[in-house]
Amino acid sequence: METLHDTPIRCCDIFKASPDQQRRIRVVLTNGVAGVGKTFSVQKFTLGWAEGSENQDVSLLVLLSFRELNLIRDEQYSLLRLLHVFHPTLQKVTAEKLAVCKLLFIFDGLDESRLSLDFNNHEVVSDVTQKSSVSVLLTNLIEGELLPSALIWITSRPAAANQIPPICVDRVTEVRGFTDVQKEEYFRRRFSDEDLSSRIISHIKTSRSLHIMCQIPVFCWITATVLDHMLTTDQRGELPKTLTDMYSHFLLVQTKRKKQKYDEGRETSPQELTEADREVLLKLGRLAFEHLETGNIMFYQEDLERCGLNVTEASVYSGVCTEIFRRESVIFQKTVYCFVHLSVQEFLAAVYMFHCFTNRNRTTLEAFLLEKKSSLEKTDYDQSHEDYDEDEENDDDSHYDGYSDNDDKETYDDEYDDENDNDEENDDDSRYDEYDDENDNDEENDDDSRYDGYSDDDDKETYDDEYDDENDNDEENDDDSRYDEYDDENDNDEENDDDSRYDGYSEEYNEDKDDHDDSNVPDDNHDDILSSLKVFLGRVMEKSMKSKNGHLDLIVRFLHGLSLKSNQSLLGGLLGQTDNSPETIQRVISNLKEMNSDDISPDRSINIFHCLMEMNDHSVHQEIQEFLKSENRSEKELSLIHCSALAYMLQMSEEVLDEVDLRKYNTSEEGRLRLIPAVRNCRKAVIHNCRLSDAHLQVVASALKCSTSHLKELDLSNNSLQDSGVNEISAGLESPNCRLETLRLIYCRLSEISCASLASALKSNPSHLRELELSYNHKFQDSGVKLLCDFLLSPHCRLETLSLSWCSISETSCASLASALRSNPSHLTDLDLSGNNLRDSGVKLLCDFLPSLNCRLKTLRLRDCRLSEISCASLALTLKSNPSHLCELDLDYNRLQDSGVKMLSDLVESPHCRLKTLRIDGMLMTADEPQKYYSDVKPDVTKECHLPADDKKAPLSFSPEQAPDSSYRFRCPGPGVFQCSLTGLVFVMAQEAELLYRTVQWDESLLQSAGKRPAGMLFDIKCSEDEAVCQLHLPHSETKDGKDMVVFSVE
């Protein structure tokens, strides 16, 4: 069954099979970034069922959040007992009733799970009365061992979704954020004043960062809160244009609302933070900072107390100021706390870090910076920032790579429904209510307006959560997906148990420690972190760039924004005093522009550009805009920071690029690597000879996995990909979102392991690929071809062009190919097996395939395959007696003898044969021109070499020594013709000598200036004896029409 891409689906229809589906939809996995509305969609589904309007075939719906299941993770329960505990109204439901009724289990918030879901080694539980751990019960439910007729719905952030094996999932859906149109509709419905909404929309469009962030509904709400306050009060000043500006204003606005509620409405200036305000906000900042490092987004009372927060203070900030911090009561009445959104937690963490810098708290900063690997990177939470890259509008569904063709990758976009909001306590008549924490009993909601959105009348709906605290138990806590991209590893959240949250922090680490001045203890290994703002920000930036997933990207952006005097003044003493003179700020900006980023993901490099924007330095942005308008771009030399900015602007462009060819940009090798993220927004990507690391290939793979992937053609030729790199690309190829039609991996040193990975990926998602170029991969060999044939056997394979030239394969591969192509109706029209030791026996096997009704082959290239006139006879007999589709045949550089040439040349002239073009023995023969040499002389590998008569035969194959520097060495024993099995080079030798040769890079700038392109591999060849090499044959080079002779020399 084919995977469906970008297919809108209503929330209530997620368990309904599409017309072409054969199997039942039992397990649905729904992913979406933080705050996008997963929990709201669950509640909308539940409400429709409870009201009797939808899914009435379901007898019992059971909603369980992972947040609650975490509380009993170490206890033993039967499934029946679990239902009775979490839903007391089901006490009368018996095991017998469960067995016969149709159940739907909804497990909400997999990203918050602290359970160990082990699908490989677990106890089998098939009885609802059998006791086991909660983790085991869930795995058995999902696998169908327990209540196999029950429906299962799981919601998650994309990163955490990898905990569920693809084979267990029948359908994958995605809750998406606002489109550009819906962003505007949100603000117009939020505000009845049309002039106000228009001004807000206009302002957001002036800032690319703000406009992109508004894809997430919670950020729309934050933006609306701030701009509404600034435009409707007496507050004066420039409207915020950066993320730091926006979050600084947001903090002040919400603090003022808290004051009005609890301080008897006393009017204060929004910029006026009291000492008490600063104290509580710094405590919240410390909580945010410590738990971002340990990967926690949920906190308990003991966590608050550890940071000096008492329950009363937390209640104030979770009750009225729910927009900053919120409290919820889950099962067993245990209170949990969380920040309303990950970005709010990150902002407060940055505020706390900056406060530590200005107050010279070396202990905290050094502990953070010198830690080799953050605890955050050890947890499942670490991939949160892969889920939503604020730098990308195209969400990356990389975490579903590996789902079979039976998976339906569908998008459901539900809309806000006013009727589904239970905001009875809302005093505001506005339909668009803000967060409403109805779980808290110590306050009423006044003036919390919240956007409900759209009606239910539309078939295409967008589930964007309303951020009602009663309705939303996890969205604000989901991992922010700003950081894309692109780390596909999934570390289980269970490593992040409560007991491990304080790793790296001693019990004595408390508020008193924060105020301690230990600035006189410098770091011996680095510049003193407290010596200057430049050093502090530089050290934090260096740490962030080493992160595999970008979990510190937004914090670093906030820190650079907070260094500006405007934001420090705005936050009124919260940050402390530091040197932010124009000279200091300029040194920081210069440091960013000159920062090196070797061996890191180019996505991390883009964050350097964002930091410049947060510091209101727009020079690089303006220079790139001018570059894009320029007509002679190839003449403009691009610096590293220019390349990062250009990559960002190209991938964010509303216009999809036809081609991104890194060779066409005048920059350094590292500069080209920084341009790689631009492949996410193009149809063709050419990345030649760039020394790609796994980090770079992860970015390329993310372009293939993206739900809105445009990439149709990918050329990674002349890169040593290694097995790990091929695994990254394979992960992209097997994604249901991949639509790649052409893949070129010429001379990429693919091993048998790489072949297995590649073949497996292509087999799992074969329907789009039309052209596959794997030439000059000498380690491919017969075993690799056999693996590739599994892909060719797939009934969904649509491959039309396959090139395996110079891959060190033999007649064994011919047997595998013929068998695969014969047994499966083939779309293959072009097959290139040149430069391989196929011999006459291999051609005979191919001839058995050519007459097959399944054969659609039009072009067959067998150059330099050590063929004789026997192959000519086989081909002539096959093509004459069983006319095939074959139109072009290339047999050059084979010893076919005159008799063999005559047999095939007669076919070209025959009206009964479809063969129209024949390359043979230095001649190009067509129906119009029966004989035309494209070389001055008929090739003869013994020309000008005085060899014994018995040496005038096919070249002797040899396998050279391979040195650590990738060069090749061969000791030629004497006169003769020798062919390297790894490179295809043919040496005609006059005497004994030692050959030393290696591949070298083409001079791209020289080629471009001449309007040429590489013809194949370029070699540097040295010989120990003068005149020992009398001829050298490069199989991929030829001259045409006798006009352009190619001259080679050997040193």
The 3-state secondary structure of 304-351, one letter per residue = HHHCCCCHHHHHHHHHCCCCCEEEEECHHHCEEEEECCHHHHHHHHHH
Same domain, 992 and 904: no
Same domain, 983 and 896: no
Q: Identify whether 312 is part of a domain.
A: no
**Confidence label for 459 from pLDDT (cuts 50, 70 and 90):** very low
**Confidence label for 934 from pLDDT (cuts 50, 70 and 90):** very low
Q: What residues make up the domain containing 979?
A: 956-1049
How far apart, in whole angstroms, are the C-alpha atoms of residue 977 and residue 947? Answer: 9
SS3 993: strand
Characterize 579-615 residue by residue with b for buried, 16 or more Cβ atoms within 10 angstroms of its Cβ, and e for exposed. ebeeeebebbbeebbebebeebbbbbbbbbbbbbbbb
pLDDT of residue 571: 86
Per-residue pLDDT, averaged over 907-924, amounts to: 76
Of the three residues 154, 174, 194, the one that is the final residue of a domain is: 174
DSSP string, 636-667: S---HHHHHHHHHHHHT-SSPEEEEEGGGS-S
Same domain, 977 and 848: no
Q: Identify whether 1006 is part of a domain.
A: yes
Model's pTM, two decimal places?
A: 0.67
Sequence-separated (6 or more) residues with CB below 8 Å from residue 809? 780, 781, 782, 784, 785, 833, 836, 837, 838
How far apart, in whole angstroms, are the C-alpha atoms of residue 560 and residue 914? Answer: 69
Question: Is 262 a residue whose pLDDT tops 70?
Answer: no
How far apart, in whole angstroms, are the C-alpha atoms of residue 358 and residue 236? Answer: 28
User: 677-681, 685-689, 902-906, 1019-1023: which range is least confident on average?
Assistant: 902-906
More confident residue, 992 or 936: 992
Of the three residues 146, 174, 202, the one that is the final residue of a domain is: 174
Query: 756 with 723: CB under 8 angstroms?
Result: no
Q: Identify whether 547 is part of a domain.
A: no
Q: Tens digit of pLDDT for each residue in 182-231?
A: 899 999 999 989 999 999 999 998 887 788 888 888 889 889 999 998 88
Total structural domains within the chain: 3
For residue 120, what is the domain's CATH number?
3.40.50.300
Task: Kindly list the strands in the beta sheet with 103-108, ordered across the sheet, starting from the edge strand earlier in the chain.
Answer: 7-8, 408-412, 171-175, 27-31, 151-156, 103-108, 60-65
Sequence-separated (6 or more) residues with CB below 8 Å from residue 508? none
Q: Which two tokens stand for residue 344?
A: 């709010």
Q: Identify whether 707 is part of a domain.
A: yes
Same domain, 769 and 905: yes
Q: Tens digit of pLDDT for each residue in 401-421?
A: 333 333 333 333 333 333 333
Q: Identify whether 975 is part of a domain.
A: yes
Helices (H) and strands (E) in the chain, counts: 34, 31
Task: Kindly list the strands in the beta sheet with 986-989, ordered across the sheet, starting from the edge strand earlier in the chain.
Answer: 956-958, 976-980, 986-989, 1029-1033
Same domain, 962 and 819: no
Query: 326 with 470: CB under 8 angstroms?
Result: no
Q: Identify whether 780 is part of a domain.
A: yes
Question: Is 741 a residue whose pLDDT tops 60?
Answer: yes
How far apart, in whole angstroms, are the C-alpha atoms of residue 664 and residue 634? Answer: 6
Comparing CA positions, the residue from 351, 364, 389, 374 lying closest to residue 479 is 389
Question: Is 959 a residue whose pLDDT tops 60?
Answer: yes
How far apart, in whole angstroms, are the C-alpha atoms of residue 514 and residue 512? Answer: 5
How far apart, in whole angstroms, are the C-alpha atoms of residue 524 and residue 90? Answer: 64
More confident residue, 631 or 588: 588
Q: Identify whether 487 is part of a domain.
A: no
Q: Tens digit of pLDDT for each residue in 861-872?
A: 998 888 988 998
**Confidence label for 235 from pLDDT (cuts 50, 70 and 90):** low
How far apart, in whole angstroms, are the C-alpha atoms of residue 584 and residue 533? Answer: 7
Give the CA diameter of the chain. Answer: 110
- Cα–Cα distances in Å, from 960 out to 635, 811, 888, 975, 984? 42, 22, 34, 17, 11
How far apart, in whole angstroms, are the C-alpha atoms of residue 503 and residue 291? Answer: 10
β-bridge partners, 832: 803, 861
Same domain, 910 and 961: no
Characterize 129-148 residue by residue with b for buried, 16 or more Cβ atoms within 10 angstroms of its Cβ, and e for exposed. ebbbbbbbbbbbbbbeebbe
Same domain, 858 and 977: no
Sequence-separated (6 or more) residues with CB below 8 Å from residue 800? 770, 771, 827, 828, 829, 830
Mean pLDDT, rounded, of the chain: 75
Query: 734 with 401: CB under 8 angstroms?
Result: yes
Of the three residues 155, 174, 193, the one that is the final residue of a domain is: 174
More confident residue, 779 or 564: 564
Nearest 10 degrees: Cα torsion 141, 144, 148, 149: 80
Q: Tens digit of pLDDT for each residue in 162-183?
A: 788 878 888 888 887 788 888 9
State how beta strands 76-77 and 132-133 pair. antiparallel
Same domain, 909 and 960: no
Q: What burial class does residue 399 get, using C-beta atoms within 10 Å of its C-beta: 0-12 exposed, 13-18 middle, 19+ buried?
A: buried
How far apart, in whole angstroms, are the C-alpha atoms of residue 418 and residue 403? Answer: 36
Same domain, 665 and 729: yes
Q: What burial class does residue 805 get, using C-beta atoms within 10 Å of its C-beta: 0-12 exposed, 13-18 middle, 19+ buried?
A: buried
**Nearest 5°: phi and psi at 995?**
-105, 135
Half-sphere exposure of 263 (CA within 13 A, CB side): 12
Highest mean pLDDT (candidates 768-777, 879-888, 1035-1044): 768-777
Question: Is 938 a residue whose pLDDT tops 60?
Answer: no
Would you mind telling me the total number of residues written for the chain in this entry? 1051
Rounded to the nearest 5 degrees, what angle is found at the Cα of 546, between the Cα atoms of 303 and 705? 95
For residue 898, what is the domain's CATH number?
3.80.10.10
Q: Identify whether 133 is part of a domain.
A: yes
Same domain, 892 and 960: no
Q: Tens digit of pLDDT for each residue in 785-813?
A: 888 888 888 888 888 999 998 888 888 98
pLDDT of residue 935: 38
How far apart, in whole angstroms, are the C-alpha atoms of residue 795 and residue 129? Answer: 44
How far apart, in whole angstroms, are the C-alpha atoms of residue 313 and residue 83? Answer: 35
Query: 438 with 425: CB under 8 angstroms?
Result: yes
More confident residue, 101 or 946: 101
Per-residue pLDDT, averaged over 475-493, amounts to: 37
Query: 496 with 379: CB under 8 angstroms?
Result: yes
Question: Is 858 a residue whose pLDDT tops 70?
Answer: yes
Same domain, 970 and 899: no
Q: Which helix (H) or strand (E) holds 105?
A: strand 103-108
Comparing CA positions, the residue from 820, 770, 764, 838 lying closest to residue 799 is 770
pLDDT of residue 470: 35
Same domain, 908 and 1033: no
How far apart, in whole angstroms, are the C-alpha atoms of residue 723 and residue 694? Answer: 10
Q: Which two tokens stand for residue 512?
A: 């008193």
User: 4-18, 42-56, 662-676, 828-842: which range is least confident on average?
Assistant: 4-18
pLDDT of residue 403: 33
